[in-house]
Structure 1
Amino acid sequence: SLGDLQANLNDISARYGKDVVVAETAYPFVLGDADGWGNLVGLPGQLVAGYPATPVGQAANQRDVLSIVRAVPNGRGLGAFYWDATWTGVAGNGWDPADPTTGNAWENQALFDFDGRPVPAMDVYRR
């Protein structure tokens, strides 16, 4: 849960006296699939409560993740890195570079929609 994320970041930072980052985060803007490969998150039961798989839900989730990082005491939360923000469902852009017929399981969590347009979560990272 996001509460667990906050507790763990706070604990790690305090316990070890270190700055912290969220090294990989992502959230879907839709449950649909663009490349026929199947997605890592593709079912309603896989979603975090309160964050629908919509462009607005994705942006809200990422805004809250970044707020959690900013709330780490003593300014020790440095930021977050979005996982595969540009891995869209484009032919030849699959997980196996040697096999252009492969797809990817992340395109519904990219920061670009299935038509290549930036989604609202992109604005969260501009701040």
Structure 2
Amino acid sequence: MTGFELFWPLVAHAFLVFCLYGLLVLRRASVVKSGLVEREAFRENRDEPTESRVVNRAIANQFELPVLFYAVSILLYIVDADNVVAVALAWLFVATRYAHAFVHVTANRLMLRRPLFMAGFVALFALWIWLAGWMAFS
């Protein structure tokens, strides 16, 4: 490993967040243009239409569980535990975040979102277990 493999999933996740913000801007502009809501409604996020509210919530989701992902990734790098196992788990976590966000802003079916969330949760938990094990046995 060259040393930065663990950071590429972080970059990929940040790209997802930027894409979601872009989608939010497009959806908000669309609902304002269609007359569903006045632009001022977004100042305090009152009465936001579903079309943009789901994207806004998908963005919020990227700042909840992923905070632990960023923390463990940096810690894994610091303690030199950023190996193929950690990188694979990190990519798995990010892949589930992309899939979860896609479902959230399209069909928004909980039956699809929940297993994607749980898969990412398990991958992230495994990263923390990997870190703890690495530190305990190094």
TM-score range, shorter chain: under 0.3
| Alignment TM-score, normalising by the size of structure 1 | 0.26
The structure with the largest alpha-carbon Rg is 2
Structure with the higher fraction of residues in strand conformation:
1
After TM superposition, the score normalised by the length of structure 2 is 0.24
